[in-house]
Structure 1
Amino acid sequence: MNRKELNPDASPEAAYGARLRGLREARGWTQEDLADRTEYSSVHISAVETGRKPPTLRFSRSTDQAFGLTGTADTFERQYREIKHGALLEGFPEYVKYEARAVEIRLFQIGLVPGLLQTPEYARALADGDVQRGAITPEQAEERVSFLAQRQAALVRPRPPMMLVVMDESCLRHAVGAAEVMEGQFRRLVEVASLPNWVLLVSPCEIGARRSFNLPMNLLTMSDLSVVAYAESQLRGHLERDTAAVLPLLTAYHQLQAEALSQAESLAMIEQIGKGTP
């Protein structure tokens, strides 16, 4: 039997297929064995493994069930969504894998409420805006909202991560969607701030040049206490794991926290802006 050698570095689809073959063979299953467990033909499985057919959401979920991966952090569904989100900024799909395992997450955001804090309505309004501009298709908008919901769900664990969020004041003043969308988003911020594993702070405009970052910044502390940083511009994202590069960013984040309003003051500002008070 001719066996095609796989190169997982060739493309995201090739990496998916190579992983599928690797897990199947590790269990001693033939393609026919996996076909019996997924309701797909062995021909279809062969085509996915060799990259001749792209995976689908239904196939990925069926495969996860066959391998017992449903509900874990490394599902084929997650890998499929990363392929589907091929337009995501460089580094972001890899960042999300770290995010799902982090024990502490520090976020700084400018202009928009951080994704992990967005309500479905707020996220939908953002995605719909991109559709109207022609930046993405309606299908991609649906995937984007679903992908964000997955990231948020990954935070709900027996031992949830500590969440430290600093939002620039502009996040609160930039209206997204109808008035009721913003009202619901403000309520969500207040609710989150009451949770024991969340700290929510606002960086007011008046701190000026003392603001440590001029771009969004994510810092993840892992279980081994290593720290991973992720930052992005309009065009690309960058995941940084080198300690020498990450530690100055961690220091800058601590300085930003010191300049931000307290949580009580931050919630008061959220309430004032929510009511339309100057």
Structure 2
Amino acid sequence: MNIKELNPDSGPQAAFGARLRKEREARGWKQEGLAEHTGYSSTHISAVETGRKTATLRFARQVDNALNFTDSPDSFEREWRELRHGCLLEGFPEYVSYESRAVEIRLYEVGVVPGLLQTPEYASRIEEAGVKRKAITSEQAQERVALIAERQAALTRANSPLVFVVLDESCIRRLVGGPAVMDAQLARLVEFAELPNTMLQVAPFDMGERRPFNLPITVLTMADRSLTSYAESAQQGHFERESACVVPLLTAYHQLQAEAPSQAASVAMINQVRKGTL
């Protein structure tokens, strides 16, 4: 039998396929064996290994189940997300895979409304600006907007997570996309606050030094009560899976919530901004 030589350096898709073959052969499995464990045909396995077919999220998860990589830092799902979302900051694709399964989400944002709360129009204007600056391509902009929609859809699943959001006042003051787009975005925030599984607060500028965070931060609580966090700067993202390292962030987040105005006061502030009375 002629076995096609694989060159993992030829691209991310080839690297995915080469690693799949390596892990399969390390277990002494033929393609038929992996096919039996994943529910895919051996022809499909061969096509992914040789780069003739692109892996899907479902395929990556089935492979993880078969090879015992589920929830591992080396999971094929993580590699798939990095392959698909190559324009995103390091750590973010892995974070998204955890976000979709979290039972509690706590996030703090500065400057812009966070993706989970963005309207499609607001998200599009943000990414279009990146294209104009030549920071990303049009294709990458479309990919980012689509990812936001996917993340938001995951939050409407059965047993929706509790979502706690604290926005720096700059998020509601910064005009994005013009008055109509911004008004719709602020209305979306008010609607979000009315959901039974959410809490929205705005940290006003006059909190000053009492604000414990200077950069955006997200803390996730998983079903087993383990904690993860994600933080990023303009050029780098970091996903932390060690709960012990995340506990201080969770404590600081609770302090932030205690210092910030109530949800009712925060919604009133948002509505005042909408009316242009401030």
Partner of 2:145: 145
In structure 1, list runs of 5 or more residues that go unmatched: 36-41, 68-72
| Compared CA separation, residues 84 and 199, structure 1 to 2 (3 A) | same
| TM-score w.r.t. length of structure 1 | 0.81
Q: Deviations over 1:74-101 (max 9, x none)?
A: 9x99965542321211111110111010
**2:159 is the counterpart of 1:163:** no
CA drift at 1:146: 0.5
Q: Deviations over 1:126-151 (max 9, x none)?
A: 01111111111111111110111111
Partner of 1:38: none
Partner of 2:34: 26
CA drift at 1:26: 2.7
The SS at the match of 2:56 is helix
Identity %: 55
> What letter corresponds to residue 35 of structure 2 in structure 1?
R
Partner of 2:66: none
| Compared CA separation, residues 62 and 114, structure 1 to 2 (3 A) | closer
CA drift at 1:157: 1.1
Partner of 1:266: 266
After superposition, residues 44-193 of structure 1 pair within 5 angstroms as 46=46, 48-50=48-50, 52=51, 55=54, 60=56, 82-193=82-193
| Compared CA separation, residues 262 and 11, structure 1 to 2 (3 A) | farther
Mapped to 1, the partners of 2:225 and 2:195 lie a distance apart of 23
Partner of 2:246: 246
| TM-score w.r.t. length of structure 2 | 0.81
| Compared CA separation, residues 95 and 261, structure 1 to 2 (3 A) | same
The SS at the match of 2:108 is strand
Which has the larger displacement, 228-237 or 13-22? 13-22
Which has the larger displacement, 155-164 or 16-25? 16-25
> What letter corresponds to residue 139 of structure 1 in structure 2?
E
Report if aligned partners of 1:227, 1:243 keep a CA contact under 8 Å in 2. yes
| Compared CA separation, residues 192 and 63, structure 1 to 2 (3 A) | same
**2:228 is the counterpart of 1:228:** yes
Mapped to 2, the partners of 1:24 and 1:105 lie a distance apart of 41
Q: Deviations over 1:50-82 (max 9, x none)?
A: 3x4572xxx738969x99xxxxx99x9996554
| Compared CA separation, residues 79 and 192, structure 1 to 2 (3 A) | farther
Partner of 2:218: 218
Report if aligned partners of 2:100, 2:154 keep a CA contact under 8 Å in 1. yes
The SS at the match of 1:231 is strand
Report if aligned partners of 1:211, 1:256 keep a CA contact under 8 Å in 2. yes
Mapped to 2, the partners of 1:103 and 1:119 lie a distance apart of 23
| Compared CA separation, residues 48 and 26, structure 1 to 2 (3 A) | closer
Mapped to 2, the partners of 1:9 and 1:110 lie a distance apart of 38
Mapped to 1, the partners of 2:262 and 2:212 lie a distance apart of 17
| Compared CA separation, residues 63 and 212, structure 1 to 2 (3 A) | closer
After superposition, residues 189-200 of structure 1 pair within 5 angstroms as 189-200=189-200
Q: Deviations over 1:160-192 (max 9, x none)?
A: 000000000000001110211111101111111
Report if aligned partners of 1:219, 1:229 keep a CA contact under 8 Å in 2. yes
| Compared CA separation, residues 98 and 232, structure 1 to 2 (3 A) | same
Report if aligned partners of 1:231, 1:237 keep a CA contact under 8 Å in 2. yes
Which has the larger displacement, 241-250 or 167-176? 241-250
Mapped to 1, the partners of 2:165 and 2:11 lie a distance apart of 35
CA drift at 1:277: 1.3
The SS at the match of 1:87 is coil
In structure 2, list runs of 5 or more residues that go unmatched: 25-30, 64-69
| Compared CA separation, residues 87 and 8, structure 1 to 2 (3 A) | same
| Compared CA separation, residues 9 and 104, structure 1 to 2 (3 A) | farther
